Amino acid sequence: MELVIDIGNTRIKYAGITNGQIQTKGYCTEVELHSRLNAFSGKVDNIMLSTVKPVSEAILIELTECCTNNLVLSSDMEMPFKNDYETPKTIGADRLALAAGGMFKFPKKDVLIVDVGTCMTFDFVDAKATYHGGAISPGLQMRLKALNEFTGNLPLIALQEPINLIGRNTKESILSGVVNGMLKELDGIIDVYKLRYPEMKIILTGGDLAFFDKKLKNSIFADADTLLKGMYFILKQNANKKI
C-alpha cells in the first residue's frame, strides 16, 4: 500500500492506495496527523506528502517514523507529463498533483481539471501529455470573507445554497452573487477552453464540489479524489528516488 497525504489550506487529506485503487481515505487536522501515521506504520511501502505550506521538521520526522521511504512532492520530481509552465518552480504541489490526476483518469486526452476549494484553479494537460498551466481565482469561502473584510457593512455569511436568484435581503444577495457568480465563471471559462479543444474532458474536484457538480451546463466528470490519485501516479514514478 502507498500512503499519500495532502496538507491543504484548510484541511489535511490522506489516502491509502493499492494498485491504483483507494483502500482507505479520510481527513484530519495537523494535530491528528500523528495518530493517523501511527495507524499506517508498518503497513505502507512508500509515502508522498504534498503541501501548500512549509513542511515542519516535526512532520518530516513523523513521516520517517511511519515509513523510511517518503517523498515531498515538488516540481523537481519527474512528472508523468512535460511541464510547459513558464515558471515551473512556482507552481504549487497541489496543481502538479491535479494535472497528474487528470492524466491518470484520461490518458492521451485533452483534459481540464477544475478544483473548487479554498481557491478555484484550472489546470490544462493536452493529449500529448504537456501541462500548459491554467488559472487561479478565489474560491467560495474566500469570496464571502472578502465581502466582509473589504467593506464597511457587509456581514460574514456562512456558505449555503442560494434560496433565490434575486436576493430579497443582504444575506440572500451575497449568497446569490457569490455562488451564482462563481457558477457562471466556471461555465464561461470551460466554454472558452472547449472552443479551442472541442474533445476536451473536464474533471471537477475540490472541497466545494457538491455546490457545482449538478449545476454546470457543461458535461463534467466529478471526482473528489483527483488530487490524491495524481499524487499516487507521481509517487509510483518516483518511488525509488528518495528526496
Looking at the annotation, which residues are catalytic? 94
* Residue 212 C-beta-side C-alpha neighbours within 13 Å: 32
Backbone angles phi, psi at 76, to 5 degrees: -75, -15
First to last CA, the chain: 20
